[in-house]
Amino acid sequence: MLTTITTTVSSSEKPVSYDINIPYLTVSAEEKARIERDTAYPQYLPTWDPVRFDPLPPFEFTDPALRADPSKPNLLSGESIKLSEITPRMGTIVEGLDLSTLTDTAKDELALLVSQRKIVVFPAQDHFLDLGPAAQQEWMNYFGKPNYQPVSGSIKGHPGFHIIHRDGNKEELANFFTQKTTSCLWHQDVSYERQPPGYVMLGLLQGPEVGGDTAFAATDDAYKRLSPSFRSMLDSIKAIHSSANMINHTKAVGGLVRKDPVQSVHPLVRVHPVTGERCLFINGEFITGFQGFKQPEFQALSDFLLDHIIKGHDFQARVRWQPKTIVIFDNRSILRPFTQINRTHTDTAIVDYFDEETGAKPRHIFRLAAMAEVPVPVDA
């Protein structure tokens, strides 16, 4: 449910940008006109409509992958379709397939492919992107309930779109790297919700010729690399996930907040409903503690697990983007880095596509997230 709200933002000082991709608030009229002139997809530029979203009520979810034929005859049988693997265990590139033509049965098979391979890349989705936001949101709704972002820019009339638009940002980049050695903080999307996203779509509208790749790490393989005794301890831990830090920072700098903070308790190790694999459900952004653990104990264990995942290059994959590429990934079994500043987040790209004179090169991407099941604990 959406209800109109108004916000009052102090103009006594310029708000601090909450990340180095997009501001909290809309840009000036002059800057907006320049951006609209320079982008090929002005209908996907971020807006900050003063609306408020009610909490997502509990809902029944059946993973579409559970209905799929394992041989995937409706998805992968076309003569023009070419498959190539990014790594042996995760990541598949599918060429020669127009996502807009998929039947519901083929979408079930796609969900199974994403569950099995974790990341599926679809280059050259010109027709699918040209259909526009309404068609893409309807297409994604097949895989779960839409997620409405609480603070970031979205598309007017289509609040399920999380828009990332970077164009320059020289000052923000310079300020950021005076304090940080890297732009990456590893996470899973919207983990604080009671029913976090399962399937997530990223669509690149515009991007640099080189750079801005997205890295992914497999949390089931990361779990398997740990010793049986250590895994047994992790299996029983409950983690507290919260959006409060993100919400509070947005308010502090005068930004638009569309939701109250959400807090949920989830298993640190979740069971994937399709593959049956145990996956670490850990991130460096939204988890504030482990139930029954003192803060130093939580911090030490959280730091160890994240360090284990970040250093595990043998269970990671890297996606190189081209404009008009769609990536669909499984949010339950991967981690990926985002650009972060001041304990908030936005993008999934590695920020290596900038120079000191001009700042970041243009990059325009959207995200659609489909909310899925309540995370399943090991002892369920």
Q: What is the pLDDT of residue 111?
A: 98
- Rounded distance between C-alpha atoms, residue 207 and residue 20, angstroms: 16
Q: Is residue 6 part of a domain?
A: no
Report pTM.
Answer: 0.87
Q: Is residue 364 part of a domain?
A: yes
**Which domain covers residue 303, as residue numbers?**
16-371
Q: Which of 304, 315, 87, 347 is nearest to 217 (CA)?
A: 315
Q: What is the pLDDT of residue 2?
A: 43
Q: Is residue 5 part of a domain?
A: no
Q: Is residue 11 part of a domain?
A: no
Q: What is the pLDDT of residue 363?
A: 75
Q: Is residue 380 part of a domain?
A: no
How many domains are there within the chain? 1
Q: What is the pLDDT of residue 104?
A: 98
Q: Which of 160, 169, 161 is nearest to 16 (CA)?
A: 169
> Torsion over CA of 91, 199, 103 and 97, rounded to 10 degrees?
-30
Cβ atoms of 304 and 254 within 8 Å: the answer is no
The C-alpha angle with vertex 118 and arms to 115 and 123, in degrees rounded to 5, equals: 110
Give residue-wise pLDDT tens across range 245-304.
888 888 887 778 899 999 999 999 999 999 999 999 999 889 999 999 999 999 999 999
Query: Residue 307 above 80 pLDDT?
Result: yes
38-47, 198-207, 312-321, 346-355: lowest mean pLDDT where?
346-355
Q: Is residue 256 part of a domain?
A: yes
Query: Residue 196 above 80 pLDDT?
Result: yes
Query: Residue 69 above 50 pLDDT?
Result: yes
| Percentage of the chain modeled with pLDDT above 90 | 62
Q: What is the pLDDT of residue 11?
A: 39
Q: Is residue 10 part of a domain?
A: no
CATH number (domain holding residue 260): 3.60.130.10
Q: Is residue 293 part of a domain?
A: yes
